[in-house]
């Protein structure tokens, strides 16, 4: 194993631990979180082994291996688990792209001309690994609350429809380059990916429209409840006032029947002074 492959193996191991932590943070594990974390790491370790043994063909299996813990170790609905997978897959792609850009920038500044980070030597591979680890360590902890909120209201099926084109394009690229398939193989994959992306965007639009309707209905119901509470308060005040008036009339009637006219006048004056 040369240093270039070792750097990629370390990158895979880093993301395995990151993914295991995110799975346990975002989803409900069947066992304790600590046990589930280490089981998730164990499930995804073949990814690093394949990277060490056959570096060129790892892209054919990478997206499947990191999906395995979600199938067996968590109790959430499958739609939520797949949504979590797609969101984390996009996050990893973002970190890898950012790491490649940072590495490319540093190497270009150092050499004085543009250097692409695709055919790296040992030093450049170490720099690439360092860039990814630093950027991921800064970005992913800040993404965790956002991903948690997204999983609460995002439409999982729409997310899957958008995520599948990305995975299918990566997989088809690996098949064309490694299995030496004809170049026209990309066209049906592209058309299928475009169809899935189109359906996913339509579903997001429909889901957002439905969510806005529910939000409007909720605001309307809250307004009606608030108005009902105000009416109830006014009714209670009116009922209390009617009850007090009834008591006053009974008291006055008793005084008049007892021919206590002066006391009745004093009682009326006291009531008027209280009111005004």
Q: Is the confidence at residue 116, as pLDDT, over 70?
A: no
- What is the mean pLDDT of the segment spanning 259-276? 70
State what percent of residues in the chain have pLDDT above 90. Answer: 6
Question: Has residue 92 been placed in a domain?
Answer: yes
CB atoms within 10 A of CB 229: 10
Q: What is the pLDDT of residue 41?
A: 92
pLDDT tens per residue, range 166-175? 777 666 766 6
Evaluate whether residue 248 is within a structural domain: no
Domain membership of residue 276 (yes or no) is no
Mean pLDDT score, 159-179: 70
Q: Which pLDDT belongs to residue 42?
A: 92
Residue 114 lies in a domain: yes
Tell me whether residue 86 is in a domain.
Answer: yes
Q: What is the pLDDT of residue 36?
A: 92
Q: What residues make up the domain containing 148?
A: 3-154
Find the mean pLDDT for residues 50-79.
76
Higher pLDDT, 276 or 218: 218
Classify residue 216: in a domain, yes or no. no
In a domain, 229, yes or no: no
Q: What is the pLDDT, as a whole number, of residue 66?
A: 83
Does some domain include residue 118?
A: yes
pLDDT above 80: residue 186: no
pLDDT tens for each residue of 6-48: 887 888 899 899 999 999 998 889 888 899 999 999 998 888 8
**Burial letters for 62-92: b for 16+ Cβ neighbours within 10 Å, e otherwise?**
bbebbeebbeebbebeeebbbbbbbbbbebb
State mean pLDDT over 140-155.
81
User: Poorest-confidence range of 82-86, 113-117, 144-148, 151-155?
Assistant: 113-117
What's the 3-state SS for 145-204? HHHHHHHHHCCHHHHHHHHHHHHHHHHHHHHHHHCCCCHHHHHHHHHHHHHHHHHHHHHH
Distance CA 107, CA 116 (A): 8
Mean pLDDT score, 58-62: 62
Residue 3 confidence (pLDDT) above 90: no
Average pLDDT over residues 118-136: 79
User: Highest-confidence range of 163-167, 200-204, 247-251, by mean pLDDT?
Assistant: 200-204
Number of structural domains the chain divides into:
1
Full DSSP string of 20-89: HHHHHHHS-BSS-HHHHHHHHHHHHHHHHHHHHH-GGGGGGTHHHHTTHHHHHSB-S-HHHHHHHHHHHH
Average pLDDT, rounded, for the chain = 79
Q: What number is the average pLDDT over the span 168-197? A: 72
Residue 274's pLDDT band (boundaries 50, 70, 90)?
A: low
Can you read off the two tokens belonging to residue 260? 């206590």
Nearest by Cα to 158 from 96, 91, 59, 86 = 86
At 114, phi and psi to the nearest 5?
-65, 130
């Amino acid at each position: 194993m040369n240093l270039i492959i070792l750097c990629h193996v370390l990158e895979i191991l880093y993301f395995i631990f990151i993914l295991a932590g995110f799975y346990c943070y975002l989803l409900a594990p069947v066992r304790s979180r600590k046990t589930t974390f280490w089981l998730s790491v164990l499930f995804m370790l073949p990814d690093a082994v394949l990277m060490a043994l056959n570096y060129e063909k790892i892209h054919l299996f990478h997206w499947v291996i990191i999906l395995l813990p979600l199938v067996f170790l968590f109790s959430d609905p499958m739609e939520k688990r797949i949504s979590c997978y797609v969101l984390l897959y996009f996050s990893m792609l973002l970190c890898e792209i950012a790491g490649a850009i940072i590495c490319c920038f540093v190497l270009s500044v150092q050499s004085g001309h543009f250097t692409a980070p695709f055919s790296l030597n040992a030093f450049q591979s170490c720099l690439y690994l360092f860039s990814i680890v630093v950027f991921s360590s800064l970005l992913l902890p800040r993404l965790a609350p956002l991903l948690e909120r997204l999983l609460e209201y995002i439409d999982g099926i729409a997310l899957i429809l958008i995520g599948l084109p990305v995975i299918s394009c990566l997989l088809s690229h690996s098949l064309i380059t490694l299995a030496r398939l004809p170049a026209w193989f990309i066209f049906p994959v592209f058309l299928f990916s475009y169809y899935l992306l189109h359906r996913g965007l339509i579903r997001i639009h429909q889901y957002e429209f439905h969510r806005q309707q529910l939000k409007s209905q909720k605001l309307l119901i809250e307004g009606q409840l608030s108005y009902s509470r105000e009416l109830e308060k006014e009714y209670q005040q009116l009922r209390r006032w009617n009850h007090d008036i009834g008591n006053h009339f009974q008291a006055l009637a008793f005084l008049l029947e007892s021919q206590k006219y002066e006391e009745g006048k004093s009682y009326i004056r006291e009531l008027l002074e209280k009111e005004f």
